Amino acid sequence: MSAPLWSVALATHNGARHLEAQLDSIATQRLLPSELVVYDDASTDGTPSILATFASTAPFTVRVERGGTPLGPTRAFDRALALCQGTFVALADQDDVWYPNKLERLTSAFDAAPRLQLVIHDLAYVDAALRPIGQSKLARMRRFADPEREYVTGMASAVRGPFLASCLPVPEVRGIVHDGWLHWCAEDLAAKAIVREVLASYRRHDTNATGAAPLNAARRVGRMHFLRHYLGAALRGELPEVDTLLAQEQERLAWLERTAAAHVHAERCDDDRVRRRLALRRDAVRAAHERVRTVRWPRWSRPWRIASRALRGDYRHLKGLRGATLDLLTPRRVAPR
């Protein structure tokens, strides 16, 4: 029996307030999925009932697995994704609304580029009542970030089934989340592309799992919002720990080495391409090791080390100016004995 064309992976947790609109938007796709796979993360509201009602009338197979203890979004999505059988798999959140042509358009993107393993599309910000805020996600990102490297939103992402299987399970490393992990893996194979077309409404409200950072705020934001946010986080000592970032880089390198060694996707990824990616990842791990060494020095003595590393090109792996700011402002870390 051949695998279905599209699977949709959905993780839910107390999402009754907005879930029906999302389910309806999946059921009215021009190109219907073959299955909807749901992991309900121990909901205590009406979510299970809504899912059961939808399953009884949906024009495709609906499979629901329920957990007894909340796992959190990453582990819940890990469970849902592992159950998907599709040639392509789209991730869905419980509170957004897809445009009717979403799966049709993503299919075209994959068909046009057989080497692509992951595609991500643009989103229109809306408030809790689905009223447009007046910005798209790509337009907002371009004010402060590089979308090509940093645009990561699970509910706008879709992957090929064999590639997904090579990425699971999502590593249980601090700071690694399901959508970020899939995007990192695709980037490390040079197999990610952005569809610069709005294909869903991205609902922002007071109970979103993502935080209130400017990138996800339920209002129009500009460049100064981003600058104030990142500067404030640095001054409050809320920047990521460098040891955590190093662990993430090491996990990425280990995955890419396993992938290359096993010749996963060999027909779409020539040896030279894999070697270049491995070299870049090893450089990134080396740069992360240097970052850990840097923050063991007092802050006053770091500028010359940071400047030296910048001249070596380390910060192309460490988010440029933001990475240098992290190295300058992170509290001093004493080397373990």
Percent of the chain with pLDDT over 70: 84
Task: Report the amino acid identity of residue 135.
Answer: Q
What pLDDT is attached to residue 259?
83
pLDDT interval class at 326 (50, 70, 90):
confident
Q: What are phi and psi of 310, to 5 degrees?
A: -60, -40
Q: Judge whether 58 and 49 are in contact, CB under 8 Å.
A: no
What the block records as the tokens of 258 is 């396993």
| Helices and strands: H and E segment counts in the chain | 13, 9
Q: Which is the CATH superfamily of the domain at 6-217?
A: Spore Coat Polysaccharide Biosynthesis Protein SpsA; Chain A (3.90.550.10)
What pLDDT is attached to residue 319?
76
Find residue 89's DSSP bridge partners. Answer: 7, 159
What pLDDT is attached to residue 298?
87
Pairwise CA distance, residues 117 & 115, whole Å: 6
What pLDDT is attached to residue 267?
46
Contacts of range 277-283, beta carbons closer than 8 Å, 24 or more positions apart? 277/188, 277/189, 277/190, 278/253, 280/188, 280/317, 281/188, 281/249, 281/252, 281/253, 281/256, 282/253, 283/317
pLDDT interval class at 335 (50, 70, 90):
low
Window from 76-80, 112-116, 132-136, 219-223 with minimum mean pLDDT:
219-223
Residue 312: which H helix or E strand, with range? helix 303-312
Q: DSSP per residue over 251-269, as a string?
A: HHHHHHHHHHHTTTTGGGS
Burial of 86 (0-12, 13-18, 19+ CB in 10 A): buried
Pairwise CA distance, residues 155 & 90, whole Å: 8
pLDDT interval class at 102 (50, 70, 90):
very high
Higher-confidence residue of 225 and 89: namely 89
**Mean of all residue pLDDT scores within the chain:** 86
Q: What are the pLDDT digits (tens) for 267-277?
A: 455 567 777 88
Placement of tokens 């010749």 in the chain: 263
What the block records as the tokens of 244 is 């955590």
Task: Report the amino acid identity of residue 43.
Answer: S
| Residue ranges of the chain assigned to CATH 3.90.550.10 | 6-217
**Would you give the distance in Å from CA 307 to the centre of its chain?**
31
Q: What is the mean pLDDT of residues 226-239?
A: 66
CB atoms within 10 A of CB 314: 22
Residues 6 or more apart in contact with residue 193 via CB below 8 angstroms = 109, 113, 116, 118, 119, 120
Higher-confidence residue of 322 and 262: namely 322
CB atoms within 10 A of CB 231: 12
